[in-house]
Amino acid sequence: MSQKQYWKGLEELQDTAAHKEVVANEFKEPLPFDLSDSLLEATTPRRDFLKYLGYSTVAATLVASCEMPVRRAIPYAIKPEDIVPGVPNYYASTFVDGGDYCAVVVKTRDGRPIKIEGNERSSISRGGTSARVQASVLNLYDKARLRQPYADGKEATFEAIDRSVKDALSSNTKPVYILTGSMMSPTTKEIISQFVAKYPTAKHVVYDPISYSGMLLANEASYGKRALPSYHFDKAQTIVSLGADFLGTWLSPIEFAKQYGAGRKVSVKNMKLSKLYNVESMHTITGAAADHRATCKPSETGAVAIALYNAIVSGTQPALASKKLNDLVNGAAADLKKGNGLVVCGSNDVNIQIVVNAINNAIGANGNTINWGVTSNYKQGIDADMVAMVDAMNAGQVGAVMIHGVNPVYEYHDNKKFIDGLVKVPVTVSFADHMDETAQRCKFIVPDHNYLESWGDAEPKTGYYSLMQPGIAPLFKTRAFQDSLMTWAGSTTTYGDFWKQYWTNKLGGQSNFDAALQDGIIEPATMPTAGASFAGNVADAIAKVQVAKASTGLELVVYQKVAIGHGGAWSNNPWLLEMPDPITKATWDNYACVSPKRAKELDKGGSQDVELTGINEVVTAKRVIKIKANGTDVELPVVVVPGMHNDVVAIAVGYGRNAKIGRAAANMGKNAYPFVSYNGQTFAYNTGVTIEKTANKYDVAITQTHHSYEGRPIVHEYTFEEFAKDPNVLQKEREAEIGEFAHLPWVEEKKEKKGAEEGAEEGTDKTVTGANSKMEEGFRQNGTLYPNYESPGIHWGMSIDLNSCIGCGACVIGCQAENNISVVGKDHILKAHEMHWIRIDRYFSGMPDEPDTIQTMFQPMMCQHCDNAPCENVCPVSATNHSSEGLNQMAYNRCIGTKYCANNCPYKVRHFNWMDWNGADSFADNLYEDGRRDDMNDDLTRMVLNPDVTVRSRGVMEKCTFCVQRLQDAKLTAKKLGRPMQDGEARTACQQACPTDAIVFGNVNDTTSAIHKLRKEEHRERTFYVIEQIHTLPNVNYLAKVRNTDVIVGGNEKTDDFMNQHI
Amino acid sequence: MHLKYESFVREPLVDGDKTYRQVTEDIISPIEKKPGRMWYVGFFFSVALLMFGVFSVTWAVYWGLGTWNVNRTIGWGWDITNFVWWVGIGHAGTLISAILLLFRQGWRTGVNRAAEAMTIFAVMCAGQFPIFHMGRVWDAFFVMPYPNSRGALWPNFNSPLMWDVFAISTYFTVSLLFWYSGLIPDFATVRDRAKTALRKRLYGVASFGWTGTVKNWQRHEALSLVLAGLSTPLVLSVHTIVSFDFATSVIPGWHTTIFPPYFVAGAIFSGFAMVQTLLIMVRKILHLEEYITIGHLEAMNKVIVLTGSIVGVAYLTELFMAWYSQVPYEMGAFKWRIAGPYWWSYWAMMTCNVISPQFFWFKKLRRNVPFTFIMSIVVNIGMWFERFVIIVTSLYRDYLPGSWAYYTPAWPEIGFYLGTFGLFFTCFFLFAKYFPVIAVAEIKFVLKTSGQSYKQKMEVIDEKSAEDFVHEQEHAH
């Protein structure tokens, strides 16, 4: 090929001088600046210098500021079909912890569970949750979870452990014990029976640290069934609880709270209110909810049951320790005889439970409020079995013990004996997911999955099934407990396959299985109801109860806190540890609860020991006392609890854990399980005790320092009788306070004139509802000098029913999980730095020294989203402002943290980020002044954060947002569907978590909405706004409490000494 | 402008036999000498305190305000208490320099320079608190109405805190200008006497080429009057606006219309007390007893007893109004102030502010220097408690008993307060060393009418009968 040349033009061909010049010069035009070698000698040195300076400064700044820390983000190489970034997926599943059950829906975002909601399809938990259910998602991301199996305290592989265990089991001649908590899973039971088939010496022992053996055995004696019936608190008109905290901790509190709440929605149209009689020795939330409450020593529970039985059967006048008790028994007997009664008892004593069964039988509860057609499987443990197993272990008759779901070294009352026995067992296996006290002493640890990583199922009631499906692949090298058993039994399938096969077969085909998995539950269409014939020997039981004479001295009660429960992994859950106890409002510790009078008596010599009073505003320290019982003693701080029996000391279990359980659990409180005793038949959770004052003090972090509402009209309560007589009593009170604004003469004149001009008829709504609206509307417009802002479209509002709120704290934790609320730790709680967006104010009224007079009420308090918010106009930078939908909003990025808004908030519901709780500000590792690191800011724990909610940085104010992310989501969903948002589509986290439906939320402007109807029609009479007279115009209303009792002691100087003493 | 003759009933404002030269010598010479040992000791301690303050503030900024003990219920504690206290202290200086100038009070000349300096330093100290009580102090500039790229995002002009920003910055600017303009002739004097080149040069720059011409003086006088006119409303407005921080809120104990006058009276009360504290020390250390006379102290003590009584009446009015309103929350707030866990702070306030100043009704005590000194400190303690009572004991028990709480300061809060003392006294020591602590030019202005020696010369004339005097005057030439 010829080297053909092409020219760009004649210049190039001719190669003129001009062309040469052009080629030599790269730039045709002269450059705008002089590129001389020496800057200073250039023709315009000053300008060039400035240019270079400017360029280099900007360039350097840009480059320097562009350096960002490397953030890890792993995109999907292949996008899973069902995951859309930013869109949550929901999986129906089942929460199970020992015998605690809740049907749940797991919300996952980008493959990680971030929130647990109740499954509304379940007829058992009916969408309700508890604080523990809400907090369970944090357990998944617990840093202290075991991350691999261990053998002899060293990391091991499953294969190695499988080999060792199989060898040991096959060469073993002594019996193998599988020790579990109450087991509701049918497939797991099946697998255990397969295991037993393979190793015929094997035994399955069920052990409940909080035992219901007494009831199981009593029911066997009474009805021939070793089972628990289904209770129907919703059907009961009269409920008598003898020490059964059925709203907080007893048996199935979510289910019972839901049922109980249904009977408390009193209104003019529904003039029905259940009546709750409560006899207890300490103060529980059931006691707080009670209409009639009396206290007795725990050893007197039997006597009360007998007195009630006699009063019902033979009309015998009770002769109990106090007049209030006698009155209560008489009243309860009379009401129970009217029918629709239900008596429950928290005692674990067989004979007492037989008496209770006899009462229920006598009042015809069986087949009505107690359903024997469907029995409950919540608790199955028989205490004697456990004791026998421990004896066998000590006798060297046990070849192997496999422990799942329980932690006897911590929970068993005689843990020394258990440890001694455990040493004598050649093969010990723990399936614990934490290095708990028992796991630490086992040869093999094969950690089980968290329930959010597991397949599984539960049969909470006979015939009622609930499926468990994982929300995430196992985070660590853990293995399902069932897989371990199957492997050791020689099976080759996995539990997942077995489970699927089991349910597909049972349900009859894949599509049914899929549907069931989607629903999460499998239930019969209607609940079969049946009674049972009582065949117990009451006389014998009464005789036996009477033999056990009440002790004369102090008695100790071992109880479960609403938050922590029996212990377990909950002891290391920072959310639950920081949740204020509903009654004591104390966080992070356990303590000795005593009555105010008892505490005063401890203060011998009248030394004015402020540490022994309920006054904790100034002095946070509490006096430490020494508690001696059952041959053991502990030292714990005293917390004064009004409403406790004067001769009772109560201590919660779940504290005093080994430091290996986790950082949060370490060094908090003392273990109370050693105070449990075994009476030869069942465990007893109360015992005689002596206490003595020590010289030590200990800080207890209590979030609410004042007990009385001081008679202020911030809460309203009245008796059912008063309400029935004049339902409008509260509205008249409101009218007196704000009514004058409804008819200001000059405003009326103006309106009349306007009306006359337009020829329009002035609204002549003469009904009470109309008057009410006029009052509210008038106050809104005339109660201020400022203009009134219209709120067209949506206007959000919330209602909280003080009558159905039981103070359980599910909303507190639900809100915490939804809104990424920080845990602040005990030191900051002591400084009142807590962050909970919703707090539950607890007010006592009555005579502090007379526990039977105490009435307790709860008032959830969160941002009231005032339409005329005092916080908004004081912010110098408008960081907090009002939306057209009535929301009081926070622009975190704009907030500079003057705290003025918090000061000016009359409800004190604004919370400041005092520290860098979330690792979100510019300084690294500055959460603790001593440079400590925290588990909450770990990569693992941060997985629980809700990506829809901003993580707040240090130095900004935050508060309840009405879950604005959910409201936006609901509006957008409706918009995408091309229709208006419907009532119930936008729900706040607290509302959803509430087991008693005390919280109603929605668009007030929508006249068909539940909130509108509630305020204007159904519950108009009980509606009030807290301190509305200061014209904050809150968007949260409360419904007054109606107690089905004779007299309200609160706010009355004669009956409410808290109010006079100002404590 | 000036009377040539002043009655003998008035006591002299300058004691001793002073000439113009002697005045200059007395006041300017400390600047030219090496300071005494006491100065070095004092300065060292002040700087040490300042450094501790810087450390405390750095600690709080780095770790977060959680290092403080203010909390959910009591969002403002020592921080804002100290802010209001320092702002209040500043007021005496402005009152002396502006209002007393307009009212032609001659006695202000002896004390106005130091009092104005005190104002400026006190406002500097005060300003630290609103800045560093912010959770995100690095974003403090958000409060300025500056053009920005965030959309038309402006500060909230409804917020009293916003008004504070303008009130305090205006106050500081005007006070500084006023103070500095008064200093110019005196700087020129120092410059003219200077023996070293550096001093000549520095004071030369500082005196803006003042030559002492009639035109200079005329303009100086005019400027002083204008600035006095600007400052006068500020005396009333600044603390009024500070009181709005509380008065415009809804918190019982804060939400009262009495606050503006009550705050202003309190501010002048505490300001004069602080002036007393400082001047009693300054006249002793710098030997200026002849310029800052007992008469000066007495005049200020009279102001103290007046304003102290106003404050006392205000306290009683508040109690009356709380009862008269019959609002349970309002009554509760005052009940808990008096008898709640913070009772001691209320009674400390009452004792120091209402009872103790009443001693100044006795002339003997008004003219007793050690007593005045002790009293000035008592009053300032009382006024500190007043702010503490208003802020903390209103917040700690407000509407809902469920949120009530208690508060005691943590060490960084105390350190911050001590640090502002360090700042104040560091500035004041530097001022006392390098600036004429008494307005030389103004003293000279009143010297020949109110100086002791000049008044004595007039005695001869004064004793003459009117006829003699007229006769003498008519035949004088």
pLDDT in tens, A492-548: 899 999 999 999 999 988 999 999 999 999 999 888 888 888 888 899 999 988 887
Q: What is the DSSP string of A530-585?
A: --------HHHHHHHHHHSPPPSS-EEEEE-BTTTBT-GGGGG-HHHHHSPPTTT-
Q: What is the pLDDT confidence band of residue B446, given thresholds at 50, 70 and 90? A: confident
CA distance A960 to A976: 27
Cβ atoms within 10 Å of B368's Cβ, excluding its own: 18
CA distances from A367 to A356, A358, A527 (A): 15, 14, 12
Is residue A1061 within 8 angstroms of chain B, CB to CB? Answer: no
Q: pLDDT digit string (tens) for A740-749?
A: 887 766 655 6
Chosen from A914, A926, A1032 to mutate, greatest number of chain B CBs within 10 A: A914
Which pLDDT does position A1041 carry in this prediction? 95
| Residue predicted with more confidence, B452 or A758 | B452
- Decide: pTM greater than 0.95: no
Contacts with A953 from chain B: Cβ below 8 Å: 136
Which pLDDT does position A4 carry in this prediction? 76
CA distances from B452 to A110, A182, B8, B11, B13 (A): 90, 102, 10, 8, 7
Is residue A937 within 8 angstroms of chain B, CB to CB? Answer: no
Cβ atoms within 10 Å of A543's Cβ, excluding its own: 12
B402 and A897 within 8 Å at the Cβ level: the answer is: no
CA distances from B211 to A1051, B19, B23, B28 (A): 78, 21, 19, 18
Look-up: residue for tokens 């006379």? B293
Q: pLDDT digit string (tens) for A69-97?
A: 677 777 778 888 888 888 899 999 999 99
User: How far does the CA of residue A257 sit from the closest CA of chain B (Å)?
Assistant: 24
B402 and A833 within 8 Å at the Cβ level: the answer is: no
Of A438-452, A1037-1051, B137-151, give the lowest mean pLDDT range. Answer: B137-151
Q: What is the pLDDT confidence band of residue A759, given thresholds at 50, 70 and 90? A: very low
Which pLDDT does position A21 carry in this prediction? 81
Quick one: what percent of chain A has pLDDT higher than 90? 70
Is residue A874 within 8 angstroms of chain B, CB to CB? Answer: yes
Has residue B20 got a pLDDT over 90?
A: no
Of A708, A834, A929, the CB nearest to B401: A708
| Residue predicted with more confidence, B444 or A262 | A262
Which pLDDT does position A932 carry in this prediction? 67
B72 and A1026 within 8 Å at the Cβ level: the answer is: no
Q: pLDDT digit string (tens) for A621-647?
A: 999 999 999 889 999 999 999 999 999
* Burial classification of residue A759, based on how many CB atoms lie within 10 Å of its CB (0-12 exposed, 13-18 middle, 19 or more buried): exposed
A895 and B69 within 8 Å at the Cβ level: the answer is: no
CA distance A849 to A699: 24
Q: What angle do CA A934, A948, A254 make, to 5 degrees?
A: 80
Residue A937 near residue A918, CB atoms below 8 Å:
yes
Is residue A912 within 8 angstroms of chain B, CB to CB? Answer: yes
Chosen from A738, A830, A908, A916 to mutate, greatest number of chain B CBs within 10 A: A908
Has residue A830 got a pLDDT over 60?
A: yes
Cβ atoms within 10 Å of B155's Cβ, excluding its own: 18
Roughly how many angstroms between the first and final C-alpha of chain A, as a whole number? 108
Calculate mean pLDDT across residues A1028-1033: 92
Of A929-938, B26-35, B435-444, give the lowest mean pLDDT range. Answer: A929-938
Calculate mean pLDDT across residues A650-656: 94
Q: Which long-range contacts (CB under 8 A, 24 or more apart) does A494-500 make?
A: A495/A187, A495/A191, A495/A455, A496/A455, A498/A187, A498/A191, A499/A187, A499/A455, A499/A456, A499/A457, A500/A455
User: How far does the CA of residue B64 sit from the closest CA of chain A (Å)?
Assistant: 5
Calculate mean pLDDT across residues B385-396: 94
A904 and B130 within 8 Å at the Cβ level: the answer is: no
Q: What are phi and psi of A448, to 5 degrees?
A: -80, 160
Helices A495-507 & A481-488 angle (0-180, nearest 10): 100
User: Among the ranges A164-173, A791-800, B221-230, B291-300, which has the highest mean pLDDT value?
Assistant: A791-800
Q: Which of residues 1013-1032 of A touch B (CB under 8 A)?
A: 1026-1027, 1030, 1032
Which pLDDT does position B3 carry in this prediction? 47
Q: What is the pLDDT confidence band of residue A753, given thresholds at 50, 70 and 90? A: low
Which pLDDT does position A429 carry in this prediction? 94
Residue closest to A380 by CA, chosen among A569, A220, A200, A199? A220
Cβ atoms within 10 Å of A971's Cβ, excluding its own: 17
Work out how many CB contacts closer than 8 A connect A with B.
182
| Residue predicted with more confidence, A49 or B177 | B177
Which pLDDT does position A63 carry in this prediction? 72
CA distance B138 to B403: 30
Contacts with B337 from chain A: Cβ below 8 Å: none
CA distance A100 to A184: 10
Contacts with A833 from chain B: Cβ below 8 Å: 66, 71-72
How far is residue A42 CA from its own chain's centroid? 76
Q: What is the pLDDT confidence band of residue A648, given thresholds at 50, 70 and 90? A: very high
A926 and B70 within 8 Å at the Cβ level: the answer is: no
How many residues can be counted in chain A? 1063
CA distance A906 to B251: 7
User: How far does the CA of residue A926 sit from the closest CA of chain B (Å)?
Assistant: 5
Nearest chain B residue (CA) to A907: B400
Which pLDDT does position B100 carry in this prediction? 79
A833 and B248 within 8 Å at the Cβ level: the answer is: no
| Residue predicted with more confidence, B19 or A312 | A312
Calculate mean pLDDT across residues B459-467: 80
B71 and A831 within 8 Å at the Cβ level: the answer is: yes
Residue B267 near residue B377, CB atoms below 8 Å:
no
CA distance B84 to B243: 9
CA distance A644 to A1020: 36
Which pLDDT does position A931 carry in this prediction? 66
Is residue A712 within 8 angstroms of chain B, CB to CB? Answer: yes
Q: Which residues pair with A629 in a beta bridge?
A: A632
Which pLDDT does position A934 carry in this prediction? 65
Calculate mean pLDDT across residues B93-114: 80
Has residue A755 got a pLDDT over 90?
A: no
A833 and B71 within 8 Å at the Cβ level: the answer is: yes
Q: What angle do CA B344, B349, B351 make, to 5 degrees?
A: 95
| Residue predicted with more confidence, A22 or A911 | A911
Calculate mean pLDDT across residues A178-207: 92
Is residue A873 within 8 angstroms of chain B, CB to CB? Answer: yes
Mean pLDDT of all residues belonging to chain B: 89
Which pLDDT does position A36 carry in this prediction? 58
B64 and A913 within 8 Å at the Cβ level: the answer is: yes
Which pLDDT does position B373 carry in this prediction? 94
Q: pLDDT digit string (tens) for A388-430?
A: 999 999 999 999 999 999 999 999 999 999 999 999 999 999 9
A1040's CB contacts (< 8 A; 6+ apart) are: A715, A716, A717, A718, A730, A802, A803, A1022, A1024
Which pLDDT does position A877 carry in this prediction? 92
Q: What is the pLDDT confidence band of residue A782, given thresholds at 50, 70 and 90? A: confident
Is residue A551 within 8 angstroms of chain B, CB to CB? Answer: no
Contacts with A898 from chain B: Cβ below 8 Å: 130, 133-135, 161
A897 and B404 within 8 Å at the Cβ level: the answer is: no
Roughly how many angstroms between the first and final C-alpha of chain B, as a whole number? 27
Q: What is the pLDDT confidence band of residue A773, given thresholds at 50, 70 and 90? A: confident
Which pLDDT does position B389 carry in this prediction? 94
User: How far does the CA of residue A896 sit from the closest CA of chain B (Å)?
Assistant: 5
User: How far does the CA of residue B246 sit from the closest CA of chain A (Å)?
Assistant: 9
CA distances from A928 to A662, A931, B77 (A): 18, 5, 22
CA distance A323 to A321: 7
Which pLDDT does position A428 carry in this prediction? 93
The beta-strand segments (E) located in A855-1004 are: 855-861, 880-882, 888-890, 911-912, 957-958, 999-1003
Nearest chain A residue (CA) to B165: A876
Residue A753, token pair as written in the block: 């004139």
User: How far does the CA of residue A925 sit from the closest CA of chain B (Å)?
Assistant: 9
Residue A307, token pair as written in the block: 């007195």
Q: What is the DSSP string of A325-336?
A: HHHHHHHHHHHH
Is residue A832 within 8 angstroms of chain B, CB to CB? Answer: yes
Mean pLDDT of all residues belonging to chain A: 89
Helix (H) or strand (E) holding A718: strand A717-719
